[in-house]
A and B are shown apart, each in its own frame.
Chain A
Amino acid sequence: MITISYTTAGKLRMACLAISLCLSVSACDEKELLNPTPDTSLQDTFLFDSPGRVLGQVNGMYAAMKNGSFYGGRYLMLSDIRGEEFMNRLQNVFTGYDAWNHTINSGSNDALTTWSNAYSTINSANLLIDGLAANPDVVPAATATQYVGEAKLVRAISYFALITLYGKPYVMDNGASPGVPLRLQGEKTPANNDLALSTVAQVYEQILTDLNEAETALPTSYASALLNTTRAHKNTAIALKTRVYLNMGKFEEVALEAQKIVQPTATGSFAAPTGVAHQLQPSIRTIFMNDYTTTESIFSMPMTELNNVSGQSSLGYEYNTNQEYSMNPTGIYGHPTWPATDERKTMFRTSGTTTYLMKYSKFSPFLDYIPVIRYSEVLLNYAEALARKTSPDMALATQLLMAVRKRADATYTFPAEALATQEAITSTILVERRIEFVGEGLRSNDLLRNLLTIPAKGTAPAISPSQPEYIFPIPNAEISANRAL
């Protein structure tokens, strides 16, 4: 019936089949096809292949700390707006209304994001410490020691942020209260979800251990002013210790640490005698407006056009561009001891009857560096410790206080009664801190470490140390995943 021969046709057909099969099979090797390698991410097995990658992880750890929800902006903002200096203008929970209003609950975003970002910074430090131990030959031993020191410092400052926000003040009961889980080992897998809370004292102890070890391991300085400001060195660890000890009410220790980096200079000011030569700059405007890497900026989070914090966690956006918060007229801005002659009062702008903070004055992209710790804080930490320790040194405390005030307002003289007694000078120093550090994330911690009631402002109520709202609640996500809590 069919006229063409089967054999001829069959051959022809089989040839066609063979050709097409070859084409389709050779087009792809199945094994290769099913095991693609990501082109824009690195698999963790290759992390320690070169010294450059290790350095990348060190910088990655700082970058985690610089996250917009942490030291890149929002952590500072939350710490400030919980206090009494700012008024919330727009009642927006995405820009901290809950924190300002003390309505943060365990399900609130701010409770979770601060917690998560602090811990992801801690984990990046832990992973680096573990990784360097497991891969000892990638970088020289001295470099590895330094990197571990940097990791410990970053871990310490992250735990400090956590324990002051989520733990009851150390001074309330010498740290006997429950604190936060103390994670000291890198986590990458589903294991180890459960870890009980350490006490506040245990967390402080770890912070100090880390900072002490960091002080030993860290270099005295780096090759550039930029690195001196954005990477940790010995004096960074010392400066942070003054903050930590002050929080614990250990004034002797504050003084011991502070004097390592605070010595009188020939010109009657103060400076760090070793390492990076920290000292106050003649104008405070310099460090916020012109030069972010002076010796006054002990540690700051750098911002560049390709790497900055934008949007609702950016301090420039919150305080200036979008005017989410204005100055509370009954807060420090209206304080009688802060005259208009003070240079620090120039970092505000008034629109109608409302005043806005302009410490972070750049518009988008928000390129103002975010301070972690400045030399003036070390001076005031030192001054406060001197004034409050068992055998006070009122004279030096006064000099330190004056150094900070007179830098901004050379004509100012403190009323005699403001410096007369231990209590008076302590309270004057606390006011000075409010003036000097407004918008730098210190205010609510200053209230808490002194067990002061958080004052009411606008419609937000006062919160006393006995109220649960005095600190942040541990987020629900932690409670539900961590069965050891």
Chain B
Amino acid sequence: MKHYLLLLTALLFVLKTQAQTPHITGKVTDAGDGLPLPGVTVVVKGTTQGTATDAEGSFELDCPPNSTLIFSYIGYNKEEIPANKPVINLKLASDSKQLTEVVVVGYGTQTKEEFTGSAARVSGDAVKDMPVQSFDQALAGKATGVSIGLPNGVLNNAPVIRIRGINSISLSSYPLIVVDGIPINTGDASGNSTVANNPLGDINPADIESIDVLKDAASTAIYGSRAAAGVILITTKSGKSGKPKVNYEGWTGITRAVRLPDLLDAEQFMMLKNEAVLNSKILSGNINNPSVPSESFFPMYNEDGSLVNTNWYDEVYQTGVSQNHSINFSGGNQTTKYYFSTNYSNQSGILKTNEFTRKAARFNLDHELTNWLSLTGSLNYNNSLNTSPNTGSLEGNAFGLVGAARLATLSAPNVPVFNPDGSYNLSNSNTLGMGNNTVASNFYNVVPMMDLNKYSSENDRIIGSFSARAKLLKKLDYKLTYAVDRLKIENSNFQSAVHGPGFGAGGNSTNSSVLVDNWNATNTLSYQTTLAEKHNISALAGYDIQKFKRSSWGATRSQLSDEFFDEFQGSFGNISPSSNSLNERAFASVFSRLTYDYASKYFVTLNFRRDGNSALGSGKKYGNFGGVSAGWLLSEEEFFRNSPIANVVDNVKLRGSWGRVGNGNLPNAFGSLSLYNSALYGTAATWAFSQGGNPNLGWETSDQTNIGADIALLNNRITLDLTYYHNNVNGLILDVPQSPSKGIPGNSILMNVGAMYNKGFEFGINASVIEKGKFSWSTNFNFTTNRNRVTELFGEGTEIVGTTSASAETSNITRVGYSVGSLFGAKTDGVNPATGQRVFINANGERVQYSHAVPSGGSRWTYFDGSPAPAISVSDYQLLGNALPTWYGGFNNTIKYGQFDVAVNFTYSGGNYIMNGTKGTWRDQRFWNNSTEVLERWTGEGQVTNIPRVVIGDLLSNGSSFPISENVEKADFLRLQTATLGYKVPGRLFGNSGISSLRLYTQVFNAFLITGYTGQDPDISSNGNSNLTPGVDKNSVPQGRTFTFGVNLGF
């Protein structure tokens, strides 16, 4: 926009000095709705003379005789009209393709022609009406090369984003997110282990003009060290000169959980579990021992005599009702443009007490002070409140005793939620009351926890930026930008003394306050010139400093004085400090970009950045990164234009790039230092070794090669984008395991060792399939392949074991020659039809079977001949499959007929396997309830089934205590991500109401899933964004399906 401002001002000068030439007036309107178009640039062809339309779409212009006027406006087709009459009224037709003509790149923009890297653009319209909390959740299937997975159905949980695969092992594989030029806080800023709080939820999706995803090193290298996982550039909306516009976007919707498994009801539960009790009695040789029970599960009856049959799903899940309202005002004149918006979003999830509320306001202002100085400011204030029960779905929580998803499936159905007197059904040891069952549960009653405990994480955030741009010389611009992203988070947690995790402490409450203060100052100089008409050169140089400071403090209070209190500020008997931490990190960088093209046919771009990163070792702070890319617009060559191909093919651009980027996104701000922490021994102060440092800790680098072509066919009705990419990641920063006997904290030290690559192919096609009168159908199909291989770790035969939920379960392995985080576990081979026992394959390839109950002195593990076998342990585990998708993409269709529009957007992914660990929970033979598939268990000799004979207490045969290959499943899926039906109310109905446009729509999000996966959702990731432990589904909340009804209203 700023280019236009400058240009415009220059033009005005021209006008004033040439007042004696012929005079033309006219009005420009939108060919679609007939409304005036303000701000349309009108230029006399071949000159720099011109003007812009005013708020009524009118213009006046003096021009030489016999000249031609060029009318151009972003988002509309350019028109050339001979200036042969005094009044020219013109209807401009909108062209959605035009929007993609500009590519936002680091510290600037490039035209699509001159851009020779690899990027994908998603327009803000694609995300603004989605029933999501943050825009990144809505990107699935929209951009080639970008894989988005929603790891669970908890509101505002960060999606798993992978741009061209996993690009690191220990460091974040989350892309750098830059909003209007400032890299903002992402990831787990809140440190809240119970409540999901994605900082990107603080951006109102309706404020987004465009999302540009930079994928190759040539494009991202200008962000140097932070770009290894790709860069997502968000541009927010700004005002346009002309008549003020007001838009309202609103939707309301409902969400329900989908694909929950069917569970045993009370009668089935008692039958099955008593069978397991009896089997245990028989197998342990106690059939004649009266002191060993034959049954342990007994019915309870309601006061009306009916059987107690509790459906715990009803207690945990709900139909969530949501609403979202955004309104924006924008407008401006030649010198000042404004955009103001405000947003209120209140969303309820599929889990009771899971809510997301956002209140946001944004103000963007552009002002051209003089012909050589322009100013831009933006201010975004946001308040997001996330509340949630403990879902068990966040990283590290899969095995928690408090996870609502797990409790909903495993709680006994033959006991009630409440006692007849209305009190909660509890045992005397702070667990669910087990009624007449004679077994104890170590799990809580989920209902009082949802009723009485409160967990929230609330953000107050200001993102503001100010920039000034000065034209120092004719072709030399200087720009200063200063931006702040100040995020204040308050985590609140209250746990009642009545029941649950707060019981032992007599009720407790933990609050913490987190401040993430991030500022960024950038100075750039840019120069642009054309030599001898054909040599176009532009150069950019800059200096950038960014600093993050994170401060967190808090306390835990316990021993509630009175049940009246349910907030931290109430009265408690005890307090101790918690969540105290303080760290900072900074980047200081110089960067430059040189772009050259010859006759708009041959293009070259060079990028360079020298980055300093405070988190690295003292002598390793700086790294040099850069890239080179080149393009050839083949279709501009004479021989091409003269060949018959040119009749079909409009545009062919070949492009290639190579570059090196770095990754210094260390999770630890002081990872290179050897540190001691102070704490207490009783009452005495201590110093204790807390971190083994590595002063030589340096950059992880990624060498990226990218070769591709952009092709347009049939009058630009079809555009193709083909790219091959190959990223070699070297000097991986790894937590290198140290022998635990050395006693190094965490048994690891950060070191630069190891290498891996990602390579693959991207294919994107945009087509205007049908355009006939009122009917049009346009489609976008994109497809990406990815092959990830680890080529080196920290020495011969080394491997990295990944564990789910801290160290609860060994679930993944990273090995040379395989993809990162491959599934890992015990190999199984069905159920022995002779015995009904689960068959395991041990490290020697021998088949051994397991019986949870054996006579005293007998072995639980036996060979098929009954002789004792060693127990299966980690040393028998095998690599069970690749956990990373090897192909993925989207298929997006927009169909319009008259006033109606239909959008049908699919996403798909596959080639990977998922460990359905949740199945282990559904089939666990402790006192837990099971899914109905357990009814297929082995009951007699010769029966062929995949469910072993049930034996009470058996946590092993079905993969509940460690992962087994029985539960490894293919994750291939096709999802109807969104289906939308819209209706644009005809303009004639609005009369004088001031309404200029009105569209009503209804939408379904996550409409259906076609997959062979028998779990809840193949997107589930119980370890969130973790690189080392992908593909594990363990006790997570499934996704919801959302129906919305919405309105887009314009004034």
- Residues of A at the B interface (CB closer than 8 Å) are 1-3, 9-10, 13-14, 16-17, 20-21, 24, 27-28, 30, 33-36, 38-44, 47, 52-53, 55-57, 59-64, 66, 89-94, 103, 105-107, 109, 112-113, 115-116, 119-124, 126-127, 180-181, 183, 187-190, 192-195, 226, 230, 302-307, 317, 321-324, 351, 363-365, 456, 459, 461-462, 475-478, 480-482
**What are 19 sample pairs from A and B whose C-beta atoms fall under 8 A apart?**
A13-B373, A17-B470, A30-B612, A33-B545, A34-B588, A40-B677, A42-B687, A59-B687, A91-B955, A127-B689, A187-B744, A189-B694, A193-B739, A193-B742, A307-B682, A365-B558, A477-B747, A477-B801, A478-B740
Complex CA–CA separation, A14 to B473 (angstroms): 10
Indicate if B468 sits at the interface (CB-CB under 8 A): yes
Complex CA–CA separation, A363 to B678 (angstroms): 27
- Given A2, A56, A323, which contacts B687 in the complex, CB threshold below 8 Å? A56
Residues of B within 8 A of A303 (CB): 682
Q: Which residue of A lies closest to B743 (CB)?
A: A123
Residues of B within 8 A of A180 (CB): 741
Task: Looking at the assembled complex, report how far the CB atom of A13 sits from the nearest CB atom of chain B, in whole angstroms.
Answer: 5
Find out whether the CB atom of B521 lies under 8 angstroms from the CB atom of A109.
Answer: no
Task: Looking at the assembled complex, report how far the CB atom of B989 sits from the nearest CB atom of chain A, in whole angstroms.
Answer: 50
Find out whether the CB atom of A120 lies under 8 angstroms from the CB atom of B682.
Answer: no
Indicate if B953 sits at the interface (CB-CB under 8 A): yes
Q: Which of B504, B744, B875, B961 has the most CB of A within 10 A?
A: B504
Residues of A within 8 A of B322 (CB): none
Residues of A within 8 A of B19 (CB): none
Residues of A within 8 A of B468 (CB): 16, 20
- Contact status of A181 and B857, CB under 8 A, knowing A1-B13, A34-B614, A363-B506: no
Indicate if B690 sits at the interface (CB-CB under 8 A): yes
Q: What 0/1 readout, one digit per residue, does chain B (741-762) give for beta carbons within 8 Å of chain A? A: 1111101010100000000000
Q: What 0/1 readout, one digit per residue, does chain B (494-529) give for beta carbons within 8 Å of chain A? A: 000000000011100000000000000101000000
- Contact status of A94 and B739, CB under 8 A, knowing A33-B547, A63-B681, A188-B692: no
Find out whether the CB atom of A41 lies under 8 angstroms from the CB atom of B429.
Answer: no
Task: Looking at the assembled complex, report how far the CB atom of A379 sits from the nearest CB atom of chain B, in whole angstroms.
Answer: 26
Complex CA–CA separation, A291 to B799 (angstroms): 50
Residues of B within 8 A of A41 (CB): 670, 673, 675-677, 690-691
Chain B interface size, as a band, is 35 or more
Task: Looking at the assembled complex, report how far the CB atom of A212 sits from the nearest CB atom of chain B, in whole angstroms.
Answer: 23
Complex CA–CA separation, A251 to B363 (angstroms): 84
Indicate if B480 sits at the interface (CB-CB under 8 A): yes
Residues of A within 8 A of B745 (CB): 120
Find out whether the CB atom of B741 lies under 8 angstroms from the CB atom of A115.
Answer: yes
Task: Looking at the assembled complex, report how far the CB atom of B501 sits from the nearest CB atom of chain A, in whole angstroms.
Answer: 10
Task: Looking at the assembled complex, report how far the CB atom of A338 sits from the nearest CB atom of chain B, in whole angstroms.
Answer: 22
Complex CA–CA separation, A57 to B685 (angstroms): 9
Task: Looking at the assembled complex, report how far the CB atom of B579 sits from the nearest CB atom of chain A, in whole angstroms.
Answer: 12
Task: Looking at the assembled complex, report how far the CB atom of B243 sits from the nearest CB atom of chain A, in whole angstroms.
Answer: 31
Q: Among residues 855 to 897 in chain B, which have CB atoms less than 8 Å away from a CB atom of chain A?
A: 856-858, 871, 873-875, 877
Residues of A within 8 A of B687 (CB): 42, 47, 53, 56-57, 59-60
- Contact status of A103 and B871, CB under 8 A, knowing A481-B739, A482-B741: yes
Residues of B within 8 A of A482 (CB): 739, 741
- Contact status of A477 and B692, CB under 8 A, knowing A41-B676, A43-B673, A364-B506: no
Residues of A within 8 A of B521 (CB): 24, 27
Complex CA–CA separation, A30 to B471 (angstroms): 28
Indicate if B737 sits at the interface (CB-CB under 8 A): yes
Complex CA–CA separation, A146 to B854 (angstroms): 55
Q: Which of A41, A305, A317, A365 has the most CB of B within 10 A?
A: A41
Complex CA–CA separation, A3 to B801 (angstroms): 71
- Residues of B at the A interface (CB closer than 8 Å) are 13-14, 17, 280, 284, 371-373, 399, 428-430, 440-442, 468, 470-473, 478, 480, 482, 504-506, 521, 523, 543, 545, 547, 558, 574, 576-577, 580-586, 588, 612-614, 618, 621, 669-670, 673-694, 736-745, 747, 749, 751, 798-799, 801, 807-808, 810, 853-854, 856-858, 871, 873-875, 877, 926, 953, 955, 961-962
- Contact status of A122 and B743, CB under 8 A, knowing A33-B586, A41-B676, A41-B690: yes
Q: Which 5 A-B pairs have the closest CB atoms?
A: A123-B743, A107-B874, A302-B682, A105-B873, A90-B442
Find out whether the CB atom of B613 lies under 8 angstroms from the CB atom of A34.
Answer: yes
Find out whether the CB atom of B738 lies under 8 angstroms from the CB atom of A193.
Answer: yes
- Contact status of A459 and B953, CB under 8 A, knowing A106-B873, A478-B739: yes
- Given A39, A44, A305, which contacts B576 in the complex, CB threshold below 8 Å? A305
Complex CA–CA separation, A124 to B690 (angstroms): 10
Find out whether the CB atom of A94 lies under 8 angstroms from the CB atom of B399.
Answer: yes
Find out whether the CB atom of A40 lies under 8 angstroms from the CB atom of B582.
Answer: yes
Find out whether the CB atom of A480 lies under 8 angstroms from the CB atom of B505.
Answer: no
Find out whether the CB atom of B743 lies under 8 angstroms from the CB atom of A121.
Answer: yes
Complex CA–CA separation, A36 to B523 (angstroms): 23
- Contact status of A120 and B743, CB under 8 A, knowing A20-B480, A38-B673, A109-B807: yes
- Contact status of A1 and B739, CB under 8 A, knowing A34-B612, A38-B670: no
Complex CA–CA separation, A302 to B686 (angstroms): 14
Find out whether the CB atom of B586 lies under 8 angstroms from the CB atom of A36.
Answer: yes
Find out whether the CB atom of A321 lies under 8 angstroms from the CB atom of B504.
Answer: yes
Residues of A within 8 A of B430 (CB): 321-322
Find out whether the CB atom of A364 lies under 8 angstroms from the CB atom of B505.
Answer: yes
- Contact status of A456 and B675, CB under 8 A, knowing A38-B583, A106-B874, A116-B740: no
Q: Which of B673, B686, B799 has the most CB of A within 10 A?
A: B686
Task: Looking at the assembled complex, report how far the CB atom of B706 sits from the nearest CB atom of chain A, in whole angstroms.
Answer: 31
Find out whether the CB atom of B680 lies under 8 angstroms from the CB atom of A38.
Answer: no
Q: Which residue of A lies closest to B589 (CB)?
A: A30
Task: Looking at the assembled complex, report how far the CB atom of B618 sits from the nearest CB atom of chain A, in whole angstroms.
Answer: 7
Task: Looking at the assembled complex, report how far the CB atom of B1051 sits from the nearest CB atom of chain A, in whole angstroms.
Answer: 39
Complex CA–CA separation, A180 to B741 (angstroms): 9
Task: Looking at the assembled complex, report how far the CB atom of B281 sits from the nearest CB atom of chain A, in whole angstroms.
Answer: 11
Q: Which residue of B lies closest to A39 (CB)?
A: B582
Find out whether the CB atom of A92 lies under 8 angstroms from the CB atom of B442.
Answer: yes
Find out whether the CB atom of B690 lies under 8 angstroms from the CB atom of A90.
Answer: no
Q: Which of B521, B581, B808 has the most CB of A within 10 A?
A: B521
Residues of A within 8 A of B581 (CB): 40
Residues of A within 8 A of B669 (CB): 36, 38
Residues of B within 8 A of A476 (CB): 801, 874-875
Find out whether the CB atom of A35 lies under 8 angstroms from the CB atom of B743.
Answer: no
Complex CA–CA separation, A475 to B737 (angstroms): 13
Complex CA–CA separation, A27 to B545 (angstroms): 10
Complex CA–CA separation, A112 to B472 (angstroms): 65
Complex CA–CA separation, A183 to B744 (angstroms): 12
Q: Which of A34, A44, A122, A461 has the most CB of B within 10 A?
A: A34
Residues of B within 8 A of A36 (CB): 583-586, 614, 669-670
Residues of B within 8 A of A307 (CB): 679-683
Find out whether the CB atom of B685 lies under 8 angstroms from the CB atom of A306.
Answer: no
Complex CA–CA separation, A327 to B892 (angstroms): 64
Complex CA–CA separation, A485 to B472 (angstroms): 70
Find out whether the CB atom of B613 lies under 8 angstroms from the CB atom of A115.
Answer: no
Residues of B within 8 A of A44 (CB): 674-676, 689, 693
Find out whether the CB atom of B545 lies under 8 angstroms from the CB atom of A28.
Answer: yes
Residues of B within 8 A of A124 (CB): 688-689, 743
- Contact status of A187 and B740, CB under 8 A, knowing A63-B679, A364-B504: no
Complex CA–CA separation, A393 to B620 (angstroms): 70
Q: Which residue of B lies closest to A42 (CB)?
A: B676
Residues of B within 8 A of A16 (CB): 373, 468, 470
Given contacts A364-B558, A481-B737, 11 further A-B contacts (CB under 8 A): A24-B545, A34-B588, A41-B670, A42-B687, A60-B687, A91-B953, A124-B689, A187-B742, A188-B744, A461-B857, A482-B741
- Given A35, A109, A304, A363, which contacts B808 in the complex, CB threshold below 8 Å? A109
Find out whether the CB atom of B688 lies under 8 angstroms from the CB atom of A63.
Answer: yes
Residues of B within 8 A of A187 (CB): 692, 738, 742-744
- Contact status of A24 and B523, CB under 8 A, knowing A34-B621, A56-B685: yes
Task: Looking at the assembled complex, report how far the CB atom of B481 sits from the nearest CB atom of chain A, in whole angstroms.
Answer: 10
